[in-house]
Amino acid sequence: MIYSNEKIREVLVKEGAIPLLILPMYSFDCREKECSNSRIEKEKLYKILDLCDGIVLPGGDGWYFQDEEIITYAREKKKPILGICLGMQEMSKSLLGKKKEGDITILNDNDIHDQEEKEEAHSVLIDKESFLYKIIKKEEIMVNSRHSYHIPTLDKKYISAVSMDGIIEGIEDQDHPFFVGVQWHPENLYEKKGEAKAIFSSFLKACREKEEL
């Protein structure tokens, strides 16, 4: 099932954006096996992406291989891209390159990371040299958390935040105008926490700057 995250849609509209849903180009389920990307399918996808000033990859429970194609295209075209939870995990694959040791794995001890109802599940430490710190302007924040998988390893230059138990909570590519992923769900904290609003506001600012080029 393909669906839109309603909270993210609401936040984007409040920030002045016009959200579009990017649907798979394939006629079969692309979650369980790698899809065969034909030239025509790619061209159709690229036409949709060219309409977008930026990309949001939401959380969820289905890893679509089309998402990897979207991430690659967005990086090449310097389109702002924001990944949330699963979206961040998908983005990490493009940062790993050909490495295999960074495949997404299940958390063995998930007490603090899978708390569906809590607005403040655990703290996150933010690297002062990161782009994320420039957005949030805090070294430590409290976040919500509802994930059972995580990124086990990544080059340090791409890691912007970690939890107290060492789980990667933020990633970025500083060679890109806006390539930011967070493991928590800022869309659910948008009305209550300034740092959550700052993430979306910064993303939309990057999108508008891209549009003006």
Catalytic residues: 85, 185, 187
Find, among 197, 187, 14, the residue nearest to 84 by Cα: 187
Please provide the size of the chain in residues: 213
Element (H, E) at 83: strand 81-84
Place of tokens 């002045």: 16
d(CA 67, CA 87): 8
Dig out the tokens for 139 from the structure. Answer: 């070294």
Contact 23, 211 (CB under 8 A): no
187 DSSP 8-state letter: G
Give the strand pairing for 149-150 and 55-57.
Answer: unpaired
d(CA 180, CA 19): 18
